[in-house]
Amino acid sequence: TQLLEQSPQFLSIQEGENLTVYCNSSSVFSSLQWYRQEPGEGPVLLVTVVTGGEVKKLKRLTFQFGDARKDSSLHITAAQTGDTGLYLCAGEDTNDYKLSFGAGTTVTVRA
Q: For binding to another protein (CB under 8 A), which residues are involved?
A: 1, 4, 6, 9, 31, 33, 35, 40-45, 47-48, 50, 88, 90, 92, 97-104
Q: How far is Cα 98 from Cα 93, in angstroms, rounded to an integer?
A: 8
Residue 102 C-beta: closest distance to another protein, Å? 5
Q: Is the CB of 18 or the CB of 51 nearer to another protein? A: 51
Q: How far is Cα 64 from Cα 10, in angstroms, rounded to an integer?
A: 20
- Cβ atoms of 22 and 102 within 8 Å: the answer is no
Residue 15 C-beta: closest distance to another protein, Å? 25
Q: How far is Cα 13 from Cα 33, in angstroms, rounded to an integer?
A: 24
Q: Is the CB of 71 or the CB of 92 nearer to another protein? A: 92
3-state secondary structure of 44: strand
Residue 37 C-beta: closest distance to another protein, Å? 9
